[in-house]
Amino acid sequence: MADQPFELPDFYLPHPARLNPHLESARAHDKRWALEMEMIGCTKDGGPEIWSEAYFDGMDMAGLCAWAHPDAPGDRLDLVTDWYTWVFYFDDHFLALFKRTKDQQGAKAYLDRLMAFMPLDLSDPPQWTNPVERGLADLWRRTAPHMSMDWRARFAVSTENLLVDCVWELDNIANGRVPNPIDYLGMRRKVGGAPWSAGLVEYTEGAEVPERVAHSRPLRVLRDTFADGVHLRNDIFSYQRETQQEGEVNNGVLVLETFLGCGPQQAADTVSDIITSRLRQFEHTALTELPPLFAEHALTPAEQLAVAKYVKGLQDWQSGGHQWHLRSNRYMNKNAPVPGARRAGRFRSGVGTGSLPIGGGHG
């Protein structure tokens, strides 16, 4: 790969990342699952090789999930790791079959089938025809029975939105259209992967957000600022692969580079500043808007604790996801600044869910 097009910025990291002790067992489990789903190498019926074994090992999906979900029990870490393996395989499978070929008609037929593999009533899905459909059917069967109907509906919407994102991205690529910053941020916030990840936080934390506050303004702000941070951070680390290898135009650094008429270094630094502002709004919202929300809706101590665990889970994802980006072979990560250096003496150490008025502190 060519030299990095810019130096990685000094990211704002308001709280330290932690590593789940079940990493190695999740890593072994996930590889067995990916092999069973035929996501490594060619499929038995001659389907294309999307991932070699070496590439799969270097991505380290278990590493992502162990950093992003440090408190998940072993069985939940195994399952969430499979979910992330599926979503990254889906992304690369779609890239190979449709983005590179710009086959919009074939992409629509492919995407139209997928939601049938997430029946809310847990009825039998259709027969799968590729590893993406097979993996989704298996994951939904293992996850949905443990979650409420409200969660299933919200998570299904987030998954469907990922499919909308693929159509939007493919249309931009086919037409050589780099979106403007406002459209890009708004669309990514709606249909990007972070809202989907937030839903899995509820699963790994064993704490569903109560339905009567799930769509409230404070929770929406927390999801949106979380989404902006996750998506834009990924755009910085993904810039080289996406722009030099994949012909991608849907990248926040490229969007600002094009809109501002500046070089990639200035665009990346500006994206980093946006990430900082979004994470600081996340902190402010958690500290100042959740207590009134709890009082307004008369949440029980158990419900307040569930929301606090959810907020902690989103924090963990931000800091843990950054650690994974520094290690995975998918990303441009040479000469990265030392995590935490920017935090000292400049910003407070984070939300700290123990400061929320709930029944007992939660660290």
pLDDT tens for residues 28-77?
999 999 999 999 999 888 888 999 999 999 999 999 999 999 999 999 99
Of 136, 135, 184, the residue nearest 159 (C-alpha): 136
**E strand or H helix at 118:** none
Establish if 17 belongs to a structural domain.
no
The predicted structure's pLDDT at residue 49: 94
The structure tokens listed for 150 are 């409200």
Q: Which of 96-115 are b and which e, b meaning 16 or more Cβ less than 10 Å from the residue's Cβ? A: ebbbeeeeeeebeebbebbe
Determine the Cα–Cα distance for residues 77 and 73; give it in Å rounded to an integer. 6
Helices (H), 17-125: 23-36, 53-59, 61-68, 74-94, 104-114
Point out the residues of the chain with pLDDT beneath 70.
1-2, 338-363
Domain count, the chain: 1
In a domain, 346, yes or no: no
Is residue 8 in some structural domain?
A: no
Evaluate whether residue 358 is within a structural domain: no
**Rounded Cα distance, 9 and 6, in Å:** 9
344: in domain: no
* Residue whose entry in the numeric block shows the structure tokens 């680390």: 237
Give the domain CATH number at 246.
Answer: 1.10.600.10
Q: Domain residues for 292?
A: 23-338
What's the predicted TM-score (pTM) here? Answer: 0.88
What contacts 345, CB < 8 A, 6 or more positions away? Answer: none
- Within a domain: 9: no
How much is the pLDDT for 343?
40
Can you name the residues that pair with 51 across neighbouring β-strands?
40
pLDDT at 357: 32
The reply to whether 13 falls in a domain is no
Q: Collapsing DSSP states into helix, strand and coil, what is residue 40? A: strand
Look at residue 354 and tell me if it is in a domain: no
Q: Which has the closest alpha carbon to 203: 159, 142, 162?
A: 142
